[in-house]
Structure 1
Amino acid sequence: MIIMSLKTKATEYLNELKHKWLLLQNTPKVFGYNLNVTKSRFLPGNNFIYMEYNPERTRLRRVPQTIAKLRQTFNEDLFNFKKINPPELIMKIPYENTDISLIINKSPLTQFHTLICPDVAAGQPQCLTPLALKFSISFLLNIADEKKAFRIGYNSPGALASVNHLHLHLLYITTDLYVDKAELQVLKGTHIYRLSENMPTEAVCFIFKKSTDDEAFVVQLQKLYNFIVWLCDHNIPHNLFLTPTRNERVEDTLKVFVFARKSFCYVKDLNVCNIGFCEISGYVTVGDEHLFESLTEQQVITKIKDETGNVYKEIYEYFAQ
């Protein structure tokens, strides 16, 4: 079975990715810059927000596209991952009658920052598919990662997606983040939760366990995908953040957070704190040193609240059905 194949080979793929990524980081003219995070800190407060200073990303990243609709048609003429330079492709993983391309992020946020791009040749817009979700969840559940540091994130159009070609971000973050410690409460059934009302922000969280059999896994995956389709149907931009449970006493578990946005937003100024899947999960990178030194936890939380608003009332009604 395909699921079993990824279960047995995920760590092998990861080791190859790490080896090639480090080689490419030392190869001239492949990355936009060599990753050099010079400062990091938790913002004073309740340790909800971890921040890193990464000035090169602000100066040297590709100019983000403006994607006007959640289901924006793919445009061959704009930048897309068919246009990358050949050295940027780390590897292709055969998966369910297609290939998953692992491509370096030329402007990395973290070590091993890689783009997960299903079936690049098909020219799929930045709209999640069941296959993209299935691969990403299975991959994180089955890699051998003692630090539980590999995470996957996704920005929809209108929620800071910068390229309208289907991709997710694989990141390596060794620090505990807000979502790793956030209190959850049951929303529906045995594996769908929300952030507790004691938490300063809101999200829906789907729980996946490595021990789940294939049939139950597919059922859980469909519920997650149905919710994402509902968000798209209701024109609600969204971010996803996939993170393993970092408690060694708990069985291998993956938390898939879905964050909803009340309106479309775009990257207009790279020198401010833009709220994408990283920031809304508690991991903030900035390229402006003054901003790094002056930003407060409450300012970040207030901005997250401003961009999510009261959209969750309708979402909780969806799960009450």
Structure 2
Amino acid sequence: MAIQEVNPMVTPHGSKEASYLLPLNKEDWEGQGIPDFVYGQEELLAREIQWPRHASGMLGALPPSRFDSAICSAWRQRMELGLFRYHLGELQTQILPGAVGFVAQLNVERGVQRRRPQSIQSVRQPFDPGQFNFNKIQPGEILFRLHRKPNPASALQQEDILVMINVSPLEWGHVLLVPEPAQALPQCLLPGVLRAGVEAVLLSLHPGFRVGFNSLGGLASVNHLHLHGYYLAHRLPVEGAPSKPLDPSGHLHLLQALPAPGFLYHTSGPGPDLEALVNRVCRATDYLTEHDIAHNLFVTRGAPPGKSSPSSVLTGVRVILWARKSSFGIKENQAFNVALCELAGHLPVKTSQDFTSLTEAAALTLIQDCLLPPAQAEEVQVALVALVTQEEQ
């Protein structure tokens, strides 16, 4: 019995989009083709998003958007069909006592079952077709193609993105956003891909849907261009952390709160403001890549820069960029490895013993050990401010 289509969309031409669900018969997957999720600027939800009084479960009491429904129904089906490396149930979660508000989760299976990271020696390492890459996945791992309706006013290149499951999920709805895999792009951020990531956050009605990027040396485990996206039903420190402006126009801020100082960019929503942000961020990541400096990036709904937001209301999207020491390979003896979600305050912990004993002080030590030494951090800050200042002149 085939699974019925969920939330079909009628396109302007009057035809329905394909279902995001697979036939139950595996032999039919190959001929199914990749369905399109077509969206326009009107679906980018720039209005205030608010955390419910009691955020729990995957979507809690929040009404899902069309994007949320598409991801969650297809992702749940792939879990039921056994396409993941392990079954992900509700993860044991705790908020670590202390000023930061770390969200720690016990995810033993991810620590044990995830694919071994590739051998990486440089942030600028070329793509290697002999290593694992996203041309080698099962067809059923792809949920849909994210396709933006053409926008003549946009100067950015249109980029179709494949949304596929992360077979070793760190949380519910953990997906990868991958530009056409056949392009064989190394793990270096590009403007069209970043815009798709920011717009994915704006397509969601859930304040806990986040998107991120790990560079090579920043714990990216696959050297094939991709972003991560996932749901986490908990607030994170970076959503409302205070910041100070670094340039006269306020386009670049520095987060001043723990767990780690980062460069903060903000957009109020779709349009020229979002495109300007994408260009600013990618100029910064280009600089870091050219200088072989590892980095992590996190995209979340959050307060405007320069303002602390203790309330549950989130206005616009924050993009936080961290420059950090290069780290090649997983450190098995640590409670967690520091990448995009850990720098934002979400700690997937690998063992029950570490989960029980982990303290805020220990977590901060692990994170701060991965940051650049002060002199190099200051050098990077001066360079990124110069990039923004050049743009303004």
- TM-score, normalization: structure 1? 0.90
Per the alignment, residue 151 of structure 1 pairs with 210
Structure 1 residue 181: Cα displacement: 3.1
* Helix, strand or coil at the partner of 1:175: coil
Verify: 1:76 aligned to 2:129, yes or no: yes
1:298 — aligned with what?
361
Structure 2's unaligned 5+ residue stretches are: 1-37, 45-64, 149-156, 304-310, 387-393
Q: Give the superposition deviation at 1:97.
A: 5.3
Partner of 2:73: 19
Change (3 A) 1:57 1:45: same
In the alignment, does 2:230 pair up with 1:171?
yes
Q: What displacement does 1:299 show?
A: 1.3
- Residue of structure 2 aligned with 1:7, choices 41, 47, 65: 41
1:289 equivalent in structure 2: 352
Q: Distance in 1 between matches of 2:362 and 2:135?
A: 38
Q: Is the 8 A contact 2:267 2:273 kept in 1?
A: no
* SS in structure 1 of the partner of residue 284 of structure 2: helix
Q: Tell which deviates more after alignment, 5-14 or 214-223.
A: 5-14
Instruction: Give, in angstroms, the shift of residue 249 of structure 1.
Output: 4.7
1:259 and 2:322 correspond:
yes
Amino acid at match of 1:293: T
Consecutive unaligned residues in structure 1, runs of 5 or more: none
Q: Name the structure 1 match of 2:254.
A: 194
Equivalents in 2 of 1:49, 1:119: separation in Å?
A: 35
C-alpha change, 1:36 and 1:120, in structure 2 (3 Å) is same
Aligned length: 311
Q: Distance in 2 between matches of 1:18 and 1:38?
A: 17
How far has the Cα of 1:216 moved from its partner? 3.7
Cα distance between partner residues in 2 of 1:117 and 1:5: 17
Equivalent-residue separation in structure 2 for 1:255 and 1:65 (angstroms)? 30
1:184 and 2:218 are equivalent in the alignment: no
What's the CA shift string for 1:146-175, capped at 9, x where partnerless?
Answer: x41100011100010000000111010111
- Note the C-alpha offset of 1:59: 1.6
Query: Could you list the runs of 4 or more consecutive aligned residues of structure 1 that deviate by over 6 angstroms after TM superposition?
Result: none
Residue 136 (structure 1) aligns with: 197
Whole-Å Cα distance in 2 between the matches of residues 270 and 108 of structure 1? 21
Q: Does 1:221 align with 2:281?
A: no
Could you say if the C-alpha distance between residues 282 and 248 of structure 1 is closer, same or farther in structure 2, counting changes exceeding 3 Å?
closer
Select 1:66's aligned residue among 116, 119, 127: 119
| Counterpart position of 1:315 | 380
2:119–2:328 CA contact under 8 A, matched in 1: no
Superposition RMSD in Å: 2.1
Amino acid at match of 2:41: K
What amino acid is aligned across from residue 236 of structure 1 in structure 2?
I
> What residue identity is the alignment partner of 1:107?
S
Whether contact under 8 Å (2:259, 2:344) holds in the other structure is no
Q: List per-residue Cα deviations over 1:131-152 (Å, max 9, x = no partner).
A: 11111112212x241x411000
- Displacement of 1:128: 0.5
Which amino acid is 2:228 matched to? H
CA distance in 2 between counterparts of 1:298 and 1:249 reads 29
**Could you say which residue in structure 1 is the equivalent of 2:142?**
89
Aligned partner (choices 265, 269, 289) of residue 332 of structure 2: 269
The percentage of aligned residue pairs carrying the same residue is 31
Q: Hey, what's the Cα distance between the residues in 2 that align with 1:199 and 1:261?
A: 15
